[in-house]
Amino acid sequence: MGEETSPGARRERARLVSNEPGSNRRSRYWSVLRTVAWRNLHAVIRAPALLLPPLVFPLFFYMAFAGGLSTVGSLPGFDYYNYDAFQFVFVLLQSAAFGGVFIGFSIGADFDSGFTRRLMLAARDRSAVIAGYGVAGLVRAALVWVVVFGIALATGMKVGGDGIELGGLVGLAVVVNVAAFFFAAGVMTRLRTLQAAPAMQLPLFMILMTAPIYVPRNLLEGWISSVAKVNPMTAIVEAGRSLMAGDPFHVLLAFAAAAGMAALLLVFAWRGLRKAEAAG
């Protein structure tokens, strides 16, 4: 891989790729993407315990926040219709973000075992390898959302929005998942070891926890009120809650914030991939 990063090798590679018919290139790309995604999903089918951490954590946070803090929903100034739903939206978006990061663990583990390097040697367009991990991460996150949503409904959560608004909420979660995945991929392609997992988790944890988690922004006090104002996750969480309540508010802003983060992190992941290729 290393020798291909010389300018001559890159030109030759670009010439070969450009001479290949477009449909053939696309078909190869999808083939690699599907293979990597299926490999990751198959691992979960063979060892369902792998799904436990991404499933248990959102459920546990939902129980702990919605159950333990439900009295907070009766505070003066707390104008959301249901505290369970208020917390559910945060937990959904949190699981979306961590779903993107959990697949980063797989990338790190595959780097540790040397498997990712072999995959990259075999693939013509190596971004297909990373995209395959991303698709697997999204499918795994969607499974978690179905379970968490089912349990929240079964335990009495009220839904204020209609199907389209819920679709918007799920759309937001998808964009957050993709953005978090790009971040995880960017970190893992640079550091190329599972031991770098905290470098993925900590920044994400900080951006999530400094959004309005427990109460709406108007009830926040102190430093977190100032941080929440400039945290892009605030717009996403608030728009998600408004969609859940059936009263959409700043939804475009939220999608723009999430898509903007995803675009920036795509560049981060892309450059990480180039670094991984250069490292060989």
Instruction: Say which DSSP state 126 is in.
Output: T
- Work out which of 44, 210, 268, 277 binds another protein, going by CB under 8 A: 210
Which x/- pattern, by CB under 8 A, does the window 56-85 give for another protein?
Answer: xx--xx-xx-xxxxxxx-xxxxx-------
- Work out which of 144, 178, 180, 215 binds another protein, going by CB under 8 A: 215
Tokens of 205: 């944890």
Q: In the Cβ-directed half-sphere of 38, how many Cα atoms lie within 13 Å?
A: 6
Q: Please state, in angstroms and rounded to a whole number, the distance separating the CA atoms of residues 35 and 155.
A: 38
Q: How far apart are the first and last CA of the chain?
A: 5
Tokens of 88: 């559910």
The nearer residue to another protein, 1 or 63, going by C-beta atoms, is 63
The span of 132-140, 176-184, 204-212, 251-259 binding another protein (CB under 8 A) equals 204-212
The nearer residue to another protein, 72 or 259, going by C-beta atoms, is 72
Helices (H), 114-217: 115-122, 127-154, 163-191, 197-209
Torsion from C-alpha of 7, 8, 11, 17, nearest 10 degrees: -120
The nearer residue to another protein, 161 or 240, going by C-beta atoms, is 240
Binding-site size for another protein (CB under 8 A) equals: 33
Question: Counting contacts by CB under 8 A, is residue 146 touching another protein?
Answer: no
The span of 10-18, 49-57, 172-180, 229-237 binding another protein (CB under 8 A) equals 49-57
Question: Counting contacts by CB under 8 A, is residue 220 touching another protein?
Answer: yes
Question: Counting contacts by CB under 8 A, is residue 188 touching another protein?
Answer: no
Q: In the Cβ-directed half-sphere of 158, how many Cα atoms lie within 13 Å?
A: 7
Dihedral angle sign, alpha carbons of residues 205, 261, 269, 169: positive
Helix (H) or strand (E) holding 57: helix 52-62
Q: Please state, in angstroms and rounded to a whole number, the distance separating the CA atoms of residues 250 and 247.
A: 10
Question: Counting contacts by CB under 8 A, is residue 212 touching another protein?
Answer: yes
The nearer residue to another protein, 46 or 223, going by C-beta atoms, is 223
Q: Please state, in angstroms and rounded to a whole number, the distance separating the CA atoms of residues 211 and 252.
A: 18
The span of 26-34, 103-111, 175-183, 219-227 binding another protein (CB under 8 A) equals 219-227
Question: Counting contacts by CB under 8 A, is residue 30 touching another protein?
Answer: no
User: What's the min distance (Å) between Cβ of 120 and another protein?
Assistant: 27
Question: Counting contacts by CB under 8 A, is residue 219 touching another protein?
Answer: yes
Question: Counting contacts by CB under 8 A, is residue 43 touching another protein?
Answer: no
Q: Cβ distance 89 to 237 under 8 Å? A: yes
Question: Counting contacts by CB under 8 A, is residue 224 touching another protein?
Answer: yes
Binding site for another protein (CB under 8 A): 53, 56-57, 60-61, 63-64, 66-72, 74-78, 206, 209-210, 212-215, 219-225
